[in-house]
Structure 1
Amino acid sequence: MKDWQSWAAIIVFAGAYTLIISEKIHRVAVALGGAGLMLAIGATDDISAFYSEDSGIDWNVIFLLMGMMMIVGVLKKTGMFEYLAIWSVKRAHAKPFRVLSMLVVLTAVVSALLDNVTTVLLIAPVTLLVCERLALPSAPFLIAEVMASNIGGTATLVGDPPNIIVASRAGLTFNDFVVQLAPLAVVLVLALLALCRVMFRDSFAYDEERAAEIMELKEREAIKDPRLLVQGLFVLALVMAGFVLHPVLHYEPSIIALLGAGLLVAVSTVDTQEVLSEVEWPTLAFFAGLFIMIGGLIDTGVVGELSHRLGDLIGGNELGGALTLLGGSAVLSGVVDNIPYVATMAPVTGDLVRDMGGASGHVLWWALALGADLGGNATAIGASANVVVLGIAERNHQPISFWQFTKYGLIVTAATVAISLGYVWLRYFGPV
């Protein structure tokens, strides 16, 4: 580490994190201010901040979000989300916990096929409308869904960005993730539903009058522009197919999302200014600032030092190493966004695997992926999907505070990580 710059970077990041937690200053102002200080003290520079793949702004994330926000903005004008809201509530007979369960399972399944950020962008508008119809607080539903997206994303190679990094470094395939992690993801989603039943039990009040009103609604009447809906769904299907075929097409998800957004705006009659107004610009600015701050920690060697110390702690103990890597990754990913954390930790994990002669069934790689993916649920800024949902909630005048999310996130993370530790031990080291 670079002595004073390393310590200065730690102080800047810790101070910014404290301010975000306190919510005394808006998180976007804190992130941009922290990014400016990182540049001012020389912890990072313009080349690293704007052009480095390892420690700069992840433009793929920024433009993926922008493209999908534009597509979702067009779909909102069709009445599709109102249709889905009414349909889902009627199928669940307007029972709040049944509705939550349906949305959680749907989110988890879709997150396994798409990235979790895209999933919450599509599900959140439906959720807000459902809660409005049933006069329910939206926060418990949104929090449960974002956690389901992070859990569901562990099941496949494309479900969560850290998995793509792990697969690239370890030479793992889509089928490897499905075979090794999908069974665990199913168990974790069931555990999440059980926790939600307890954590949010006061939010499931059943209103018979509202339920009766909704059951009488005809969801097809919610569609305002059938032509635009067909156009939007066609483009969305193309974008989803592009995401799934990423290993074949070799187009980054950001490129696919931007191409889809551009195509939809071009073939439809929507006003471009209105579409751009649907983009969550404060959320994108927050991500940019956060990436630069974390880049300062990477460039000064702080994150690398932490990773190497974890490697020294693990030593040659394969079981202890896997459990330590899983638990340690969960803790660190709750504080530092899991994408740069995994990018930094992947080379260290690769060295550990080689030192252990290959390690049983890539267990260290699975431990890294699980810890990073599940640890993202711990805090409001632990994963990209969390930040996006908080931005959507704030835009709809139903803000979710850092601590409101985190107090539930810590419980869910502790439970899911504990189950995962048991899974890793039984599957790779147990008497089976």
Structure 2
Amino acid sequence: MRQAVIGAVLLAVGAVCVAFGLLPLPELAALAARVLPVLGFVLGLTIVSELAADAGVFDRLADVAARVGGGRTIGLWGAVVVLAVLCTVFLSIDTTAVLLTPIVITLARRVGLPPMPFALTTVWLANTASLLLPVSNLTNLLAVDKIGLDGPLPFAGLMVWAALAGVVVPCAVLLVVFRRSLFGRYTPVGLRKASDPVFFWAASAVLVALVVALTAGVEVWVAAVAAAVLLVVVAAFRAPSELRPSRVPWSTLVFAAGLFVVVETLHATGVTDPIVHALGGGTGSGSLLLLGGAGAVAANAIDNLPAYLVLEPAAGHEALRYAALLVGVNAGCLITPWASLATLLWHARLTAEGIHLSWGRYIALGCIVAPLTVVAGVFALAI
């Protein structure tokens, strides 16, 4: 609700800016053409992910991970890492943080293991593993057209080594921090049966088709909205009680729309020009590290989405500079609670599951992992 209120205020401020000519109508039209497909993707993917979770798809994946672990805690943790990475890469950061977290916590409790290492794994990887594909993070979707890459595979080619660093570094830190908890044994559990097999298999098929479409280069909003419509039709027959207005991410859409308008106004009026000039240009290691570091600092100060929007002009027209900025705002937003909306949603899920993690401890761990991940990710871009 708070996010929706902030978004409504931002939209009102944006409307005033347009009315007074601070944001010219042609620039507003260009902004709408850019961001409406992005918001359409967010809408479609959120509905698909929520309904797939209701159908038991993520529960089944977690049970498979428990079997793959083979009774060894480190094996289970490794399977959860793979699951979190794949979920983040193909279904976005929020899906991992919001939907996968409670499932992983339940899985850990079912096999008698402490849930915290697994819960922290999901939120860190939800953020840092979101570098590989445009659909992995909203910031990537905004950047891909600016970079001028034709489709998800060229984008992945640019980001692959940084994305790998975004997985390896947090996992290494987790292994050190939770070394006593991650080495041991557990009793594997059986696969739970879906309450409605038809709904389960239909949701599974839609998810697979959506992943294929997104990686094949289909317009992301078209693929996501089509998948959402198809799954809504299935749910209307198999699980009508799950079709609620709350499935639509109203607060996220309103917040993002208002944010886009206000930041575009700041760019149009030149307010952000001093920041852009201060970050300079060039694609040397020092310049890229400066931009990535600025992205990380801004993300932890004001949230990663507005941080990207404010600093985007500093990337100029260089693909490597866009990549460095994405490393900063995506992989660097692990310190403050508000640095990523996904982190706040994740913590709310933790509280709902009866797990306490103080923000003080989260910030302390973030101060270790965030700088290491950003530095490794930026230097990986030069490979």
Q: TM-score when scaled to structure 2?
A: 0.78
Kindly indicate whether residue 233 of structure 2 is the aligned counterpart of residue 266 of structure 1. Answer: yes
In 1, Cα distance between the equivalents of 2:313 and 2:44? 31
SS of the residue corresponding to residue 155 of structure 1 reads: coil
In 2, Cα distance between the equivalents of 1:193 and 1:325? 24
Q: Name the structure 2 match of 1:133.
A: 110
SS of the residue corresponding to residue 154 of structure 1 reads: coil
Unmatched runs of 5 consecutive residues or more in structure 2: none
Q: CA deviation at 1:141?
A: 1.9
Q: Name the structure 2 match of 1:374.
A: 331
Q: CA deviation at 1:191?
A: 1.9
Q: Does structure 2 retain, via aligned residues, the 8 Å contact 1:94–1:134? A: no
Kindly indicate whether residue 223 of structure 2 is the aligned counterpart of residue 256 of structure 1. Answer: yes
Structure 1's 313 and 278: CA in aligned 2 closer, same or farther, altered over 3 A? closer
Runs of 4 or more off by more than 6 Å in structure 1? 46-49
Q: Name the structure 1 match of 2:210.
A: 239
Q: Which of 171, 183, 188 does residue 161 from structure 2 map onto?
A: 183
Q: Which of 136, 145, 149 does residue 168 from structure 1 map onto?
A: 145
SS of the residue corresponding to residue 243 of structure 1 reads: helix
Kindly indicate whether residue 127 of structure 2 is the aligned counterpart of residue 159 of structure 1. Answer: no
In 2, Cα distance between the equivalents of 1:111 and 1:39? 29
Q: Does structure 2 retain, via aligned residues, the 8 Å contact 1:43–1:300? A: no
Deviates more, 1:99-108 or 1:74-83: 74-83
- Give the residue type in structure 2 aligned to 1:180: L
Structure 1's 257 and 46: CA in aligned 2 closer, same or farther, altered over 3 A? farther
In 2, Cα distance between the equivalents of 1:314 and 1:377? 25
Q: Name the structure 1 match of 2:287.
A: 321
Deviates more, 1:102-111 or 1:316-325: 316-325
Q: What aligned pairs does 1:300-315 form with structure 2 within 5 A after superposition?
A: 300=266, 305-306=271-272, 308-314=274-280
In 2, Cα distance between the equivalents of 1:277 and 1:130? 29
Q: Which of 53, 62, 70 does residue 93 from structure 1 map onto?
A: 70
Structure 1's 184 and 76: CA in aligned 2 closer, same or farther, altered over 3 A? closer
Matched length? 374
Structure 1's 227 and 36: CA in aligned 2 closer, same or farther, altered over 3 A? closer
Structure 1's 401 and 298: CA in aligned 2 closer, same or farther, altered over 3 A? farther
Q: Does structure 1 retain, via aligned residues, the 8 Å contact 2:17–2:265? A: no
Structure 1's 403 and 297: CA in aligned 2 closer, same or farther, altered over 3 A? farther
Q: CA deviation at 1:330?
A: 1.6
Q: Does structure 2 retain, via aligned residues, the 8 Å contact 1:170–1:350? A: no
Q: What aligned pairs does 1:176-215 form with structure 2 within 5 A after superposition?
A: 176-201=154-179, 203-204=181-182, 206=184, 211-212=186-187, 215=188
Q: TM-score when scaled to structure 1?
A: 0.70
In 2, Cα distance between the equivalents of 1:149 and 1:307? 32
Q: Which of 58, 61, 65 does residue 84 from structure 1 map onto?
A: 61
SS of the residue corresponding to residue 381 of structure 1 reads: helix
Structure 1's 44 and 166: CA in aligned 2 closer, same or farther, altered over 3 A? same
- Give the residue type in structure 1 aligned to 2:77: L
Larger radius of gyration: 1
In 2, Cα distance between the equivalents of 1:118 and 1:149? 8
Q: Name the structure 2 match of 1:410.
A: 367
Quote the RMSD (CA, aligned, Å).
Answer: 4.0
- Give the residue type in structure 2 aligned to 1:411: I
Kindly indicate whether residue 201 of structure 2 is the aligned counterpart of residue 230 of structure 1. Answer: yes
Q: Does structure 1 retain, via aligned residues, the 8 Å contact 2:303–2:340? A: yes
SS of the residue corresponding to residue 378 of structure 1 reads: coil
- Give the residue type in structure 2 aligned to 1:103: V
Aligned residues with identical type, % of pairs? 20
Structure 1's 294 and 408: CA in aligned 2 closer, same or farther, altered over 3 A? farther
- Give the residue type in structure 1 aligned to 2:227: G
Q: Name the structure 2 match of 1:358.
A: none
Q: CA deviation at 1:229?
A: 1.5
Kindly indicate whether residue 301 of structure 2 is the aligned counterpart of residue 335 of structure 1. Answer: yes
Structure 1's 412 and 236: CA in aligned 2 closer, same or farther, altered over 3 A? same
Q: Name the structure 2 match of 1:218.
A: 190
Q: Name the structure 2 match of 1:347.
A: 313
Structure 1's 276 and 64: CA in aligned 2 closer, same or farther, altered over 3 A? farther
In 1, Cα distance between the equivalents of 2:247 and 2:352? 10
In 2, Cα distance between the equivalents of 1:258 and 1:179? 26
Q: CA deviation at 1:183?
A: 2.5
Q: Does structure 1 retain, via aligned residues, the 8 Å contact 2:275–2:311? A: no
In 2, Cα distance between the equivalents of 1:286 and 1:264? 21
Q: CA deviation at 1:416?
A: 0.6
Q: CA deviation at 1:287?
A: 6.6
Kindly indicate whether residue 45 of structure 2 is the aligned counterpart of residue 71 of structure 1. Answer: no
Structure 1's 397 and 262: CA in aligned 2 closer, same or farther, altered over 3 A? farther
In 2, Cα distance between the equivalents of 1:70 and 1:274? 11
Q: Which of 68, 81, 84 does residue 107 from structure 1 map onto?
A: 84
Structure 1's 129 and 258: CA in aligned 2 closer, same or farther, altered over 3 A? farther
